[in-house]
Chains A and B, each alone.
Chain A
Amino acid sequence: MTAHVQISLEVNGERIDAHVPPRLNLADFLREHLSLTGTHVGCEHGVCGACTVRVNGDIVRSCLMLAVQTQDASVETIEGLSDSGEIADLQAAFRDRNALQCGFCTPGMLMAAQDLLKLEAEPDRDRIREHLSGNYCRCTGYQAIIDAIETTARARKERTS
C-alpha cells in the first residue's frame, strides 16, 4: 500500500528522476537523496522557516510538502540561488552586517528575503519584519538581518536607477 512513487522534477535547473516513499517530505528528499544540505530542518511543522525553498517561483516550507507533490515542479534551493549569483549581494550584506552567527536559519532567511526583494523594490523595516515573521533566528535578535536586507534593497535600487 505504501509503495514508492516515481517522480520527475527540476532541482536548481537540473532534471531529476527519483523513486520515493510517499511519506518523504521535500526537505528530506533534498538533503538525504540529493545531498543538498543547505536546506535545514528545524521544527518539521512549518513554524521555524529554516527549510524554506522555492517551488515554481514561490517560497514554501519544504517540511510541509511531500516529495511526491513536486512532480513536474521546478524547485530551487539555497545552493541554486547561491551558485547562480542571484543573491551574492544579499549574502555579502549578511556577512558585512553580522546578520548571522550560527548560520542555521540563514538559508531560510536568504530565501525569504530574496522573495520580498523580488516583490518590492524598497520595503521599509516593518514590511521586512512582516515578510520574515515566519523565520526564526535564535542568535542575532533580527536587527542585523533587517539591516542587511534594507541595505541590499537600497543598493539594488541605486543600481537600477
Chain B
Amino acid sequence: MKASAFAYARATSVSNALELLAAHGDRAKVLSGGQSLMPAMNLRLISPELIVDIGELAELRGIAVTGDRVRIGALTRHVDLARSSEIAAHAPLLAEAIAHVAHPAIRNRGTLGGSLAHADPASELPACMLALNATVIVRGQTGERRIAAQDFFTGIYETALSPEELLVAVELPVSLKSSAHFFHEFARRHGDYAILGLAAQAIVNADTFADLRLAFFAVGDRPVLAKAARKLVGGALTSAAIVDACTALSEELDPHDDQQASASMRRHLAKVLLVRCVAALLDRPDLDAGGST
C-alpha cells in the first residue's frame, strides 16, 4: 500500500525541529532513516499529519570518544556503526549486534536514534543499550533530559520520549579491558525479526563475573535486563548456580505468544542462551555440556 497524504517539513536545525514538534505534538512524526516509520506508514498503521525530516541535521550524526564515554549521534546509521573503528574498540557488543539488524540496504538508511525511538521489542539495539548501560539523551524546547536506557523503553513501540522531544544521542561507557560481550539471536533467516535474543556485557575477573548484564529481547513488550544475572556475579560458578539462575530467569520473564514461538518456547530459548552466554564468556564449555537446561 501507499502512505496516506501528509505534510512535509525539512528541519533546518534541532531547534527548528523542536519548534515543529512543539506546534504539532503527536500529530507529527520524526523521520530519520525511515526504515521502521515508512513501512508503518505504507501499511497505514500510522498516518501522521506532518513528517518532520531530520535527515539533514549533520549535528546529530557521528561517533565521538571523550574520556571514558562514547557518544553516538542519533542519526548515525547502522552501516556507520558497523564500519566504525571506535565502536569496534569501545563497544564491540554493538559492532557484533549490528550485523543482525535487517539487511544491508536497510542498514544503509536505518539510524540508531530511529531504532531506539521506534522501540520494537524484537529489535537488537534497544537490548544492546540496556546491556551497555547506555544513557539516552533527548532534547525538548525547555532543555535536555538524560534517561537511563533501562527507564527509556516503556512498552511496545513506547518510550519515555514525549511527542515534543527529539532523541539526539546516546552515551555509553567505553568497554574496559576486562569487559567481555556475548550476542546471539534466534531468527528464521538472517536479518529477520528475532524469535528471541540476548545481548550481554560482562566484566570478567579470572573465572568469575565482577559484573554481568543480560539483556533479552523479543521476550515481551520491551527488552529485559535480567535480574537473574545477579545470581551469577561474584562466586565461582557451578552447574548448580546456573540451574538456580535459569530458574530465576524463567520466573522473571513474562514472554509473549505469537506466530513465531510460544511463551514456553521463548522461556526455554532464554535459558539456553543464558547457559551458552555464561559458558562462552568464562570460556567454560563444561558449563554448557548438556547443550541446554
Contacts and interface: CB of A to CB of B under 8 A. Distances in A.
Contact of B105 (A1, A44, A61, A129): A61
B177 interface: no
B53 A69 contact: yes
- Indicate the size class of the contact surface on chain B: 20 to 34
A161 B34 CA distance: 41
A63 interface: yes
Contacts of A16: none
A49 interface: yes
A63 to B, nearest CB: 7
A96 interface: no
Interface in A38-84: 44-46, 49, 52, 58-61, 63-66, 68-69, 71
B103 interface: yes
A143 interface: no
Contacts of B108: 58-60
A25 B38 contact: yes
B109 interface: yes
Contact of B7 (A3, A44, A66): A3
A103 interface: no
Contact of B2 (A2, A23, A71, A133): A23
Q: Is chain A's binding surface mostly helix, strand, loop or mixed? A: mixed
Interface string A11-23: 0000000000111
B125 interface: no
Contacts of B105: 49, 52, 58-61, 112, 134
B6 interface: yes
A68 B38 contact: no
A45 B42 contact: yes
B8 A64 contact: no
B102 interface: yes
A130 interface: yes
Given A23-B2, A45-B39, 11 more contacts: A22-B5, A22-B6, A22-B8, A25-B38, A25-B42, A45-B42, A46-B38, A61-B35, A131-B104, A133-B190, A134-B105
The 7 closest A-B pairs by CB, nearest first: A134-B103, A22-B8, A45-B39, A58-B108, A64-B38, A1-B7, A2-B5
Interface of A: 1-3, 5, 21-23, 25, 28, 44-46, 49, 52, 58-61, 63-66, 68-69, 71, 112, 115-116, 129-131, 133-135
Interface of B: 1-8, 10, 31, 34-35, 38-39, 42-43, 49-51, 53, 55, 79, 102-106, 108-109, 189-191
